[in-house]
Structure 1
Amino acid sequence: MKLIFRTIDTDKDKDTIINFRKDSFVVSFGTDAGLGDEHAYLQRMEERVRKFPDGQVIIEKDQEPIGQMELQIREYEGTEIGYVNLFYLIPEYRSKGLGKELVRYAENFFRQFNVSEYHLRVSPDNQRAISLYTNSGMVKIREENEKYPVWRMSKSLY
C-alpha cells in the first residue's frame, strides 16, 4: 500500500486536522472534552509547519487523507529529543500494519536532527497504540498526568 506523506496546509487541511485530532482524543480518552481551543491549535500547527514542515504531515492513500502525524524537536530534562505529538490513522486503516510505516517515517525525521531518542505519550487505555509502540522498541519511562493520565514512552535511536 503506497502512502504519501505531505506537509499540512493549515488553510486547506483545517477541517481534516481538527476532525483527526478530535477522533484521536476520543480514541485515547473516551471524550474530546480536553481538546482545547481549535483556533489556538491551528495557530500552533502553523508555527510547527514553519519550523518542522516534514514533521507536520497528512498521510494520504489514493489522494485521500487517511492519517496525520505531528513531529517536532523539543527539550526534555535538558536534552533535545524528538517528540511525537500525534500519530493518527482513520479507523478503517488501523491494525493493518501501517503504524510501522508511520514509526519508520518518524524515526527517519528525528535522525535528520541527530537526536538520540524520541518520546511520545499515550493513554494507558489505548492498547492498540501501546502494542505498536512496544513492538517498535519503545519503553514506558513513567506515568504523567496533565488533563488525563498518560504513559510517556521513549526509544533510543542509536
Structure 2
Amino acid sequence: MIFRTINIDKDKETIVAFRKDSYVVSFGSEEGFGDEEAYLQRMRERVCQFPDGQVIIERDRKPIGQMELQIRQYDGAEIGYVNLFYLIPEYRGKGLGKELVSYAEFFFRKFGVSEYQLRVSPDNQDALRLYSKSGMVKLREENERYPVWRMSKFLL
C-alpha cells in the first residue's frame, strides 16, 4: 500500500465520496453529512498543517482508502486525533486496518504526543473490533448528532 498526501484539486471527488461512505457506514445515511465545500476547505487547511496526516491510500495506483490525522488540544493536553480511517468495501476485513493504525501511530509519535483518540459509532462493529485489538479503550459515550464512543490509546 502507498500512502500519499491528498491533493485537494486532484482528489476532490474521491475524498468526498470516501468521507460520505464512511458517514453512511457509521450513521446509516448521508443525512447530516454537511456541506461538501466546508469539508473541502477544512481538508485544505489540514493538508497545509499536517500533509503526512491527510493521505489517500493506494494499491496498484488505485485509491482504496483515506486517513485524516491531526494534532489537537483536548482537556488541556496535546493529543493525536484520527478524523478518519477508511477503506473501500472490498478491502475491509482483510487485515489492512492494522497497517492504517501503524501508519497513524508512527505519524503521532513524530509529533511527540503520548496519546491519540478517535470517535466511532457503536454500531460499527468491525471498526470497534480493530480499535480494541489495536489497544484502544473506550473513554466515554458522546452524543452530538448521533451517539459515538470516544476511544483512546496511549503510545509507549
TM-score by length of 2: 0.99
CA distance in 1, matches of 2:76, 2:141: 19
Of residues 75, 97, 100, the one that matches 1:99 is 97
Unaligned runs of 5+ in 1: none
Structure 2 residue matching 1:41: 3-state secondary structure: helix
CA distance in 2, matches of 1:135, 1:148: 24
Residue 37 of structure 1 aligns with which residue? 35
Kindly report the root-mean-square deviation, in angstroms, between the aligned alpha carbons of the 2 structures: 0.4
Output aligned runs, 1:80-119, within 5 Å.
Answer: 80-119=78-117
How far has the Cα of 1:23 moved from its partner? 0.3
Of residues 67, 72, 75, the one that matches 1:74 is 72
CA distance in 2, matches of 1:18, 1:10: 10
Structure 1 stretches of 4+ with a deviation exceeding 4 A read none
Unaligned runs of 5+ in 2: none
Residue 5 of structure 2 aligns with which residue? 7
Q: Percent identical across equivalent pairs?
A: 77
Aligned length: 156
Residue 119 of structure 2 aligns with which residue? 121
How far has the Cα of 1:27 moved from its partner? 0.4
* Corresponding position: 1:22 with 2:20: yes
CA distance in 2, matches of 1:26, 1:12: 24
